[in-house]
Amino acid sequence: MAYEDFDLKGDCGTEENYLSPFELTLSTWRTMCSRYRKQDVKANRDISDNVSARDYETYFPIFRGKCDRCGKRFTDFLPPTLGRINCKKAHNNNNVGACCELCNKSRGDGDMEEDMLQFKLR
């Protein structure tokens, strides 16, 4: 076998390892919060406790980490978003997790365990 020493679980030197980590600025956070609020208003969700500029210090270190769903590190190429846990509820601190843009867009309104399995298979 030509690749007998290949380790599927090893570090393959992916592009992610060479990109700078995502840096959340207050301006970017305010823009994100505004977009989440607009989404929730449009969907007629209760926005009384939505994430806001006052939550910046909470999410700054979280957005320097990894996606809750696929485990990839956030970078400018793979930016973080707030994915709602329960899609029927608004973007508030009790209903969101930090996930990459790709995972957030690909998640359906289905079962979270099923979605997690699909993310792992990507």
The rounded average pLDDT for each run of 10 residues, N- to C-terminus, in the chain (122 residues) is: 58 59 94 97 96 96 92 91 93 95 74 58 54
d(CA 67, CA 93): 16
| Residues 8-27: tens digit of each pLDDT | 555 544 555 567 889 999 99
Q: Give pTM, 2 decimals.
A: 0.73
Q: Where in the chain are the domains? A: 15-121
What pLDDT sits at residue 90? 96
Q: What does the block give as tokens for 56?
A: 């910046």
Mean model confidence pLDDT for the chain: 83
Backbone φ and ψ of 95, nearest 5°:
-130, 20
E-strand stretches of the chain: 80-84, 96-100
Residue 84 near residue 51, CB atoms below 8 Å: no
Q: Which CATH number fits domain 15-121: 3.40.50.150, 3.30.40.220, 2.40.110.10, 3.40.50.800?
A: 3.30.40.220
